[in-house]
Structure formats: structure tokens, C-alpha cells
Amino acid sequence: MKQIRLGGTGPAVSEIALGCMRLCNLDSKEAEALIRTAMEQGINFFDHADIYGKGGSESLFASAVGMTPSLREEMVLQTKCAIHDGMYDFSKKHILQSVDGSLKRLQTDYIDVLLLHRPDTLMEPEEVAEAFAALRQSGKVHYFGVSNQNAAQMALLQSALGEKLIVNQLQFSLAHTGIIDAGVHVNMKDEAGIMRDGGILEYCRLNGITIQAWSPLQYGFFGGIFLDSPAYPELNSALEKIAREKQVSKSAVAISWILRHPAKIQPVLGTTSRAHLTEMCRAADFTLTRAEWYALYRAAGNRLP
């Protein structure tokens, strides 16, 4: 599997990541098998958050594989913080406490990448900068990023930081294309032409920030998987056609569609099925043509002006 460098200056990671949100639904043997399968497929990047399973996913991840220094060196670990008790919290105190909790659960001395989960409108950029600086100087966190932030929010935070934000994790899939729609419908008076995120795709590309696509097979906000969904007959037909031609699964084609974008978007796979994970990793073995990419975009219900 190919590797990319997060943010251009961050760690070298597999172009596909394994998301660990649902890991806590497995037992220890199942979790270990999933993680080992991911590594066998060339995945070295694992995405966590302190709220996944109320910390249980992080704990299970480390205990299942029997975390050792040599194994840790083979992995790039990312976790997220800031969601708790019915609010978002970018305070220095909470960020530092969250990282200490994740370090303990993951049985490691450092987090490769720390993301701030959903935006905190009460954010004080200077306070976040203090927290990041303390984490960086202590060696507890090597790189930083955000999740679900728009361009202006990122620019505001970046204005106070002493280090570059290297990641923004955003929902993106064939059935959730908001980050590209407004760029396609520029100067159009239609629903798709409404820019809701301040041009986050272009902002990230201009500033060398890697976009990570969460829920790459979902539609809506956890509305369900579009594969074989009766809500997306045309899309599934188009996926099936390409899948047959390339002798892969429809899920692999859907992930390849994300990989085809020149922004080098990194899909975060949330499956807990080893077989499904292996199928989706085949997306790294081929590249869709421009015609195939746009055919799928249209089949998902998107109109070109």
C-alpha cells in the first residue's frame, strides 16, 4: 500500500487508515485479529478518540495486541479529544487531561497525532496554543490537527499556534460530497452551490493539510451505508459495473473514488470485519479514470451544471 506524509511534514502513513470507534464491540481475540489484518494489508495508521467506547476502544486496542515498544514503532497512532459531558471543551486543562488518559489507555509514551474533535465555539486560540506547546515540549504529542472544522475556524486556531495543523478529519463519501459540491457549482443559484464550510477542501490543499474522510461508506449523518441501499440504486449499479471490470468489491471502488482525488484524502475505514477490511484495501491497487470518477459522482445523485 502506498504511503502519504500527513500535512506534507508529518509522519509517513498508509493512504488508508483503520478507524477504531467500534473496536470495543469486539472481544480481545477479534480485536487483535482485526488489527493484525490491517497491518498485513499495509495499514500502519490507527485512528482513535477518547470518547470511543468511553475510552474502551483505546484500552482494548493496546491490550489486544500486547503493546510493546517494537510494535509501537510500527504504528502511527492518532486520537481525538474535546467532546465530553454534553459539550465541547478546548480548554487547556481538558486537553492535557484527555491526552494523559489516552496515553494510559493506549499503553504508550506518546501520541503521534492529536486532533481536536468537533469545534468549540468558546475556544480561546491562545489557550489551545499553550496546551499544544506543553504537549509538544513534553514529547507526549508529536503533531496536531482538528476534526470537523471549517476554513475560518482552522485559520483562527492556526493564528495562535507555534506548530502547523496537519490534519482535518471530515465526513466524506460518494453519498456525502459537501466539501466538493460548492466547488463544482460555483456561481450557481442552487442548493449545491451553497458554500457551507468556507471552502475547506481548497483551504486544506493550499495549506498542505491532509483531509481524512470519516464514514467513507455512509450517507447522511450516520444514516446508513449506501452500498446495496434501495435509496441509491443508480449509484450501486454504477459501482457494480466498475467492480466487475476491475474484479474487486463495490466497497473497494467506493474507497478508490476517494483516493482518486488529487487532495490525497485519506479514508478512515470503520469496519470491524476482517474480510470487509481486506476487500476495501484493494482500493489501493487501482486508480479510477476521470470518466469513472465523474460517472460515480453523477450516479450518486449529483448534477453537473
> Looking at this protein, which amino acid is placed at residue 197?
D
Alpha-carbon distance 69 to 72, whole Å? Answer: 5
205 has pLDDT over 80: yes
Confidence tier at 222 by pLDDT (50, 70, 90):
confident
The β-bridge partners of 266 are 212
Burial 282-303 (b: 16+ CB within 10 A, else e): bbbebebeeebeeebbebbebe
Question: pLDDT tens for residues 20-60?
Answer: 999 999 999 999 999 999 999 999 999 999 999 999 999 99
Domain ranges of the chain: 3-232+264-271
Q: Which pTM value belongs to this model?
A: 0.97
Question: pLDDT tens for residues 263-295?
Answer: 999 999 999 999 999 999 999 999 999 999 999
The residues carrying an active-site annotation are: 52
C-alpha dist (Å) from residue 157 to 127, 132, 150: 10, 11, 11
- Within 107-232, residue ranges assigned H as helices are 125-138, 151-158, 178-184, 200-206
**Architecture of the CATH domain 3-232+264-271:** Alpha-Beta Barrel (3.20)
